[in-house]
Structure 1
């Protein structure tokens, strides 16, 4: 029986919910399964979590903690475990790095909530309906929300966000392929129209958006989720907005907390928004601070921080903390190694694939993909909370993730055979090119916690073991912002980089073109092909409203991607959150807006301290 997209838009299978809660439960698939013989009871308590063998399973964790005890107000100390400072772009229209995004989440607010199928629901702030033809969306406010300065949030503010993102002077990276399918938006973008014909503001409470084509992506990610206050930003030139005070120093939102103070690079403090549309927050405020991964565990032990997304690599040695409860889910992300196969054509907004790039030989790329044992790395470095990835559509999208695929297998002997057959002969310790020239492969990898250097060295050693001379660019790991600048986030590809270790967080829609499409700046590999473009077009076509059809297209994509190897996925990851035992009322589940930032509560004025 086929599954179709109806006017209520069920775009993804309910299996997504099952996977989000139960994680990797298919014990017959070792590549996508990570289990322990001594599984806990999902309480998150230290006495049920600790394992002597140091290998854990995401199945041991719950993703939700209900409110406990009496709320006492107070200030939550939230930590971002990172060695990367907050860049200070505190607006979702311009921010791109994780530190800025997380700092923004606490105060900005979002137009939409999700249901169990990871599609827009008709609850909370807005109702979203699609017409029978599948190309016109009607959005209405269910509640009245106000910006932090007291001005009402209107649909004109929502329109304004589209007008900024689609404007030719816009300096951010949010003008996605789905947004480009809005009727008239390209005429506006190209300067041929003053307005976007496909967006019609009916009233302050209602708006209608018309797309050129019906697509399953519309209700999963086709709608931008963050309005922009026109009354605040219209005084500025669009090209300068990213640097203005209302983004950098005094950012404004409509979320549960209000920005109070900013210490550049280090921290943000918030006070509660008593006028928050979904109810007054239970905390008096929040302190958001960047904490180096090397000291985050000690900060948890001492009660200095209350809440942090915790490094998987440090979990085993801290699983017995008696002042902490743990939450966990299968993360909506994956890590990968990408090969630089071209440059970015800024004039045309397209990747320019170079058939003569150093890494252009698919045999070389495939051999490198086969050389590293990612399951072993997941167990040794990440306590089993990262595991071998087989596809760049991660299991977070369980309906579309092809769990029958083994991906590119770990097989160093086969990797050597492939290189031998392709003409990469050994000349001493290392191989030379088929043309007899020296081959040095320059590898870019980010700094982070203490495991990043270990991981980079293990990768290099594995590649050395098959005869490839791989060296870190500049001989060292790169700081987060420098890394992304050099791999091409600003459109300038550093020619010193041949391969790089990246990571990608997916949205609610499985469409992979947002990172691998030929018109996407985030496609740092700069690889494109007619076959890949055709797959992406079919995956977002009107025919793909039939979910079985779309699933088949994306299975084809996963097979094709593993054949041409412009990049290869390395690990999927658990997303672990540590909470001081005085914290409750929170869920990691995207589709559980009843337990979110505004429902977090403290049941004790003082934090619990380990051993006391």
Structure 2
């Protein structure tokens, strides 16, 4: 690709994404404006006549009230019914609660805009070669680790070396890394260094990729450094459990870790030397808040805000007087996954197994047809979650196929599919046996958390029972967060007792499905792989896919392909609701918000309490 064509492709990508987002947000300016002008007392969405809410009626920007004081402390809640794991480094973490904590004290070297495209406004800038394969990164001179040492090109290269090491214990290694020249040879022990990574000088790093892909502009560059002066003497296999990750984590972000109560809270103080300027707050405490007590924690001012408010609790608390509710469409969906294989630890790829209980696509299709997710969204979430149709959510309007209905609720069709496939009740116990006449009991893993977790799992079980399928909760109970992900395979160990599971994914800025459904993706918990899927993923990352229309066509076809194959099926798209105490200023949940934690301030020492 010539320099001119590369520049043209980049411009076209930015333009189309901008227009797509503008079209998606059309008509929302008025509602966002009214949210900004509100009093902050329970600001949010008005319930419609049918008792439902719309995420389109919420603002993403907090209203500022009064004048900010100097300093102050913010209390931030992570809503979960389990302890956070405590893997507090971007290069090693796997759970969302840990990511929420890390974001306060560390950050990527590259920033992005509201269209998910990398910019040159962050801690590092970048330039590309004529063919779009070589990226040259320059880290700012004033970007330092919390111990005062500069963040260097060596640190950035070191992060790649650790993740590419054959002893690396984390979950990051995949196609984003194997696309770097020499990475696979290094990973396989055939080379002592990564030929495609060059440290030019203290602040300049050059990375050569095997192929130019549109994903390089929107998320597949690993933008997180690892302080080599701290980790260089720690064996790679031991890094994830080291005190440098678990007890004394370090970053380059606006706040510095002061103390940790394992699994419960992390207290941070401001980083006065933060490269974007001294933070306005003196201190931030991030703590775990149980979903059952989150309302009380907000009303009493125990926390000023939380990562995400349980939307099923919103109707009863929409008028909470001491907070303003912000909201947006989440980059996420919940889904039902079918176990179709295992993870090959040696090959580091999915190993499909046709003998698996859920291997029959007819059984999987019938289970999708049997559930009414429109009803789930309305009954459990008052419209703040809604029926999902494909595996690319509407948070990415340029690629979400609005014309694809997925497999619609149709229990009669589900029954017919099962009948035709030979699943019959041969012993008159009310449940279907396999086509071979053997008992069919499907073990369902679902997570605990919040008031809706158990009734929602029971709803799905009852829906499948209606079409004659005997689905039972794994171990007869809901699974705690960390246990759930261990059993579905986040460490590469797939529990053979799990047949199906209910999970959720937050998708990345880049919409390529490779990281969740690729053959070499550890997060591909269904363990599905096929040559057809490989081709779709490859084509979506091809040079031809710099043409946005071509990439949209590829991903529309992939969305339909996954509807037909059903290794998983999406259940609900999600909104994010974030209540923010009235004393808090300069708070936002907009897409490009993450780099701006240093701007948050408060107008009083104590949080407001509910009337």
Q: TM-score range by the shorter chain?
A: over 0.9
Q: Is the CA contact 1:124–1:143 (under 8 Å) kept in the aligned structure 2? A: no
Q: Is the CA contact 1:7–1:134 (under 8 Å) kept in the aligned structure 2? A: no
Q: Is the CA contact 1:303–1:607 (under 8 Å) kept in the aligned structure 2? A: yes
Structural mapping, 1:431-446, within 5 Å: 431-446=432-447
Distance across 1 between alignment mates of 2:222 and 2:5 = 24
Structural mapping, 1:200-599, within 5 Å: 200-308=198-306, 309-426=308-425, 427-592=428-593, 596-599=596-599
Deviation at 1:14, TM superposition (A): 5.4
Which moves more between the two structures, 122-131 or 93-102? 122-131
Q: Is the CA contact 2:77–2:287 (under 8 Å) kept in the aligned structure 1? A: yes
Deviation at 1:54, TM superposition (A): 3.8
Contiguous gaps of at least 5 residues in structure 2: none
Which moves more between the two structures, 58-67 or 514-523? 58-67
The 3-state SS of whatever aligns with 1:150 is: coil
Count, aligned residues: 598
Task: Give the equivalent residue in structure 2 for 1:42.
Answer: 35
Question: CA deviation digits over 1:31-79, x for unaligned, max 9?
Answer: xxxx9xx999334642663427541111011112265533222110100
Structural mapping, 1:93-104, within 5 Å: 93-104=91-102
Distance across 2 between alignment mates of 1:556 and 1:369 = 19
Q: Closer, same or farther in 2 for the Cα pair 1:74/1:418, shift >3 Å?
A: same
Deviation at 1:274, TM superposition (A): 0.7
Which moves more between the two structures, 519-528 or 141-150? 141-150
Deviation at 1:243, TM superposition (A): 1.2
Distance across 2 between alignment mates of 1:47 and 1:115 = 26
The 3-state SS of whatever aligns with 1:258 is: strand
Question: CA deviation digits over 1:336-380, x for unaligned, max 9?
Answer: 100001111111111111112111111110010111111111111
Q: Does 2:57 match 1:56? A: no
Distance across 2 between alignment mates of 1:303 and 1:586 = 17
Q: Is the CA contact 1:8–1:129 (under 8 Å) kept in the aligned structure 2? A: no
List structure 1 segments (4+ residues) > 4 angstroms apart after TM superposition: 10-26
Q: Is the CA contact 1:50–1:320 (under 8 Å) kept in the aligned structure 2? A: no
Deviation at 1:450, TM superposition (A): 1.1
Q: Is the CA contact 1:50–1:316 (under 8 Å) kept in the aligned structure 2? A: no
Structural mapping, 1:140-159, within 5 Å: 140-159=138-157
Q: Is the CA contact 1:10–1:119 (under 8 Å) kept in the aligned structure 2? A: no
Distance across 1 between alignment mates of 2:127 and 2:268 = 34
The 3-state SS of whatever aligns with 1:212 is: coil
Q: Is the CA contact 2:45–2:55 (under 8 Å) kept in the aligned structure 1? A: no
Question: CA deviation digits over 1:500-532, x for unaligned, max 9?
Answer: 001111111110011111111111111111111
Q: Is the CA contact 1:24–1:58 (under 8 Å) kept in the aligned structure 2? A: no
Q: Is the CA contact 1:67–1:601 (under 8 Å) kept in the aligned structure 2? A: no
The 3-state SS of whatever aligns with 2:34 is: coil
Distance across 1 between alignment mates of 2:439 and 2:388 = 32
Distance across 2 between alignment mates of 1:419 and 1:339 = 17
Which moves more between the two structures, 458-467 or 117-126? 117-126
Distance across 2 between alignment mates of 1:14 and 1:65 = 28
Q: Is the CA contact 2:32–2:59 (under 8 Å) kept in the aligned structure 1? A: no
Q: Closer, same or farther in 2 for the Cα pair 1:22/1:76, shift >3 Å?
A: farther
Distance across 2 between alignment mates of 1:291 and 1:20 = 34
Which moves more between the two structures, 123-132 or 390-399? 123-132
Distance across 1 between alignment mates of 2:114 and 2:26 = 19
Question: CA deviation digits over 1:77-114, x for unaligned, max 9?
Answer: 10001012111110011101011111111101220111
Deviation at 1:7, TM superposition (A): 6.6
- Which of these residues, 72, 75, 78, is aligned with residue 77 of structure 1? 75
Distance across 1 between alignment mates of 2:275 and 2:415 = 61
Q: Is the CA contact 1:16–1:397 (under 8 Å) kept in the aligned structure 2? A: no
Contiguous gaps of at least 5 residues in structure 1: 27-34
Question: CA deviation digits over 1:193-223, x for unaligned, max 9?
Answer: 1111111111222211110111111121221
Question: CA deviation digits over 1:217-251, x for unaligned, max 9?
Answer: 11212211210111111121111111111101011
Distance across 1 between alignment mates of 2:520 and 2:507 = 17
Task: Give the equivalent residue in structure 2 for 1:31.
Answer: none
Task: Give the equivalent residue in structure 2 for 1:171.
Answer: 169
The 3-state SS of whatever aligns with 1:395 is: coil
Distance across 2 between alignment mates of 1:48 and 1:402 = 28
The 3-state SS of whatever aligns with 1:243 is: coil
Q: Closer, same or farther in 2 for the Cα pair 1:258/1:170, shift >3 Å?
A: same
Distance across 1 between alignment mates of 2:478 and 2:358 = 21
The 3-state SS of whatever aligns with 2:7 is: coil
